């Protein structure tokens, strides 16, 4: 049985942090960037790579070659393998440029009308697909709808949804969060946010808008968030961005690794992973 514990507490006395210098544009990059109508995409996507031949790809003229951000793609590949669904689950859409999103939006307005388009197609500049961190998947049956692919709560799709958080993915849009996300429920749209954030969001029932606010509670200098599982101990905290170039504190002790993500708004989320052996905090 998987162990999972969450605690809020100040770092232990004597724990060392060092400051790393960041440029302002890094505020708009990383797996936890919030993208919606109020938080548009501010930088070009990085590390975009094409799907390998081992991942089933739905054929569509909108995306003749589907691509994703490299880490997102690697985790998606692992997730599909874990589901044993390489011949059942197809990737329908991945990275889209601003021009591609604009074309999709305008075509949908023409073909499907305003109400449908506002529910299921993000505004150009406000689409997660422009980050390379969002992927639409469907159960492959020869063809799949590009905007609303079939991904029911059964079979391989149900297994995918059950395992998604373990590999860093969340189902981004659900019925009960539409008032926050501005997008109708999309059973097929998954967003890579990384671990342990995906598991925590799932356990707490938080969409990314809510999680962005949630993490702000754990600002550097106060209580941090600690998550412990059978394998890992993670520390999560928030660092505010307040200048054109900022210095963000990160753990300095040996043995841990850390990652940093902007939130596309007012600060950075630091996620540190520690070895389980030794003291309680690493």
pLDDT, tens digit, 9 for 90 and up, residues 257-275: 899 999 999 999 999 998 7
Does residue 71 sit in the same domain as residue 13? no
Does residue 167 sit in the same domain as residue 52? yes
Boundary residue ending a domain (146, 161, 192) = 192
Boundary residue ending a domain (161, 192, 223) = 192
Q: What is the pTM of this model?
A: 0.94
Indicate if 186 belongs to the active site.
Answer: yes
pLDDT at 34: 98
Residues 93/144, Cβ–Cβ less than 8 Å: no
The rounded distance, in Å, linking the Cα atoms of 17 and 191 is 30
* Domain coverage including residue 241: 4-28+209-274
Residue 14 has pLDDT above 70, yes or no: yes
Is 52 within the bounds of a domain? yes
Does residue 152 sit in the same domain as residue 108? yes
Boundary residue ending a domain (192, 223, 251) = 192
Catalytic residue selected from 63, 128, 186, 235: 186
Is 34 within the bounds of a domain? no
Number of domains the chain is built from: 2
Is 128 within the bounds of a domain? yes
For 162-173, how does the pLDDT look when each residue is reduced to its tens digit (9 = 90+)?
999 999 999 999
Is 147 within the bounds of a domain? yes
Does residue 59 sit in the same domain as residue 125? yes
Does residue 157 sit in the same domain as residue 77? yes
């Amino acid at each position: 049985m998987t162990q999972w514990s969450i605690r809020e507490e100040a770092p232990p006395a004597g724990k060392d942090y060092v400051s790393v210098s960041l440029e302002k544009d890094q505020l708009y990059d990383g797996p936890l960037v919030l993208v919606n109508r109020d938080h548009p995409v501010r930088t070009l996507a990085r590390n975009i790579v094409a799907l390998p031949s081992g991942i089933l790809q739905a054929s569509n003229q909108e995306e003749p070659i589907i691509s994703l951000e490299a880490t997102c793609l690697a985790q998606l590949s692992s997730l599909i393998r874990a589901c044993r669904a390489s011949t059942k689950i197809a990737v329908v859409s991945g990275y889209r440029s601003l021009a591609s999103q604009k074309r999709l939006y305008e075509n949908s307005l023409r073909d499907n009308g305003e109400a449908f388009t506002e529910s299921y197609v993000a505004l150009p500049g406000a689409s997660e697909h422009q980050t390379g961190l969002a992927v639409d998947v469907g159960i492959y049956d020869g063809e799949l709808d590009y905007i609303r692919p079939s991904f029911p709560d059964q079979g391989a799709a149900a297994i995918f949804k059950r395992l998604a958080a373990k590999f860093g993915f969340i189902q981004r849009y659900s019925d009960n969060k539409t008032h926050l996300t501005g997008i109708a429920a999309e059973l097929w749209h998954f967003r890579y946010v990384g671990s342990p954030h995906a598991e925590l969001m799932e356990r707490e029932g938080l969409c990314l808008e809510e999680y962005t606010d949630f993490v702000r509670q754990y600002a550097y200098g106060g209580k941090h968030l600690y998550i412990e599982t059978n394998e890992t101990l993670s520390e999560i905290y928030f660092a505010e961005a307040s200048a054109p170039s900022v210095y963000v504190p990160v753990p300095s002790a040996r043995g841990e690794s850390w990652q940093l993500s902007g939130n596309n708004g007012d600060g950075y989320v630091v996620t540190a992973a520690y070895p389980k052996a030794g003291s309680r905090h690493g």
